[in-house]
Each structure stands twice: as C-alpha cells, then as structure tokens.
Amino acid sequence: MKDKRILTIIGAALIIGGLWVFLNNSILFVKGYELGTTNGHTLIDNRAIKKQEIEEEAVQEPPKIGEEIGSLTIERIDATIPIFHGTDEDELAKGIGHFADSVLPGEKDNSVLSGHRDTVFRRLDEVKLGDNLVVTTASDSFTYKVRKIRIVDEDDRTVIVPKPRATLTVSTCYPFDFIGSAPERYILEAYLVE
C-alpha cells in the first residue's frame, strides 16, 4: 500500500514536471516563431540623424546592455531578426544577442552574435557556405559571407577569440532537436565583404 502511494506521488510529480517543461518550451517556441517570421522588423529610421551625430562625435559611445543595435538578415531562410547588445536571457528573449566583449558589427576583429536554437535560429542549419549575412545598424549596413561552419563543445572559447579581420561569428546551441541544455554549439563564421 505504501509502495503504491509513493509510485502515485512520483508519477504525479513526473506529469507536472513534464507539463511545465512542455509549456515553457511552447512559449519560447511561439515567441521565437513570431521573431523569426517578422521580416518587416526595422529600426527606428533615424539613420541620417544618427549618421550625422556619429560623424560629429570623435568617439562613439558603446551601446548599453539591452539596447537594440541593429538587425541580422539571413537571405537563405528569409529572416530579419533584431540584435540587442548583451547575451543575457532578457536580450535573447527579444532576438539575437551581441556578445558585449566583442566588437560591434563592421569593425575589424570578431563580432559575436548568439541566439536560441528553438526560437530565432531554429533554421540556422539551412545556411550554407558562401551565403550572405547582412547586419544593418543605424549608421550602416555590413555584408558578411559565410566561410566556415563548425560544431564545437559548449565550453569552447575559440568562438570568441580576436580575429585579424572583420569577422561575424554566429552561435547557437546544437543539436537543434535536443531537449534540454544542449552540449554543443553550432557556429557560422563569416567575413566582411562590403
């Protein structure tokens, strides 16, 4: 009798836990689907004003954490996704996060972007070598060509190392269909072409 009660409690806990995981992932999926299909997303178009301000200022101040800094257009998967400065959950819930310790897109060195595999980057594995990735900011537009695709361990720090040329590194968890915290990262490495 006691064993039956323990099994009932364990069963109920597993069902409740499963429902919680399902609902949480469903919410993330819906939010990501909305972000990934909102191709009409644009920045507030004050580009001329911003460009003039940047030209007038000798030193441009870095963006604040959580600030929208641009958008990433991936032509192959027909997606335009907003980029936010920082990679905390707050930024990743709204779109792509820009690793704050990396340079801004368009600058010489390694600009690192990250996003969730089950939201904004759920189709990232469809991107091929030679495809263009376009980062649009308030001041300019930068086109990168994908030169390398690789899968690394989740703790691999080579993803964020400095590069000798203007590089865009795009990172998401891997495998794409993995349930829970994925053990690897899917990496696109692209070089600035214009």
Q: Which residues are catalytic?
A: 116, 173
**Distance separating alpha carbons of residues 49 and 62, to the nearest angstrom:** 18
Q: Is residue 93 classed as helix, strand or coil in its secondary structure?
A: coil
Give the angle subtended at the CA of 20 by the CAs of 97 and 1, to the nearest 5°: 155
**If residue 17 lies in a helix (H) or strand (E), which one and from where to where?**
helix 2-37
Give the helix/strand (H/E) hosting 49.
helix 47-56
Amino acid at 113: L
DSSP 76: G
Residue with tokens 């600035």: 192
**Separation of alpha carbons 168 and 102, rounded Å:** 10
Q: How far apart are CA 60 and CA 130, in angstroms?
A: 32
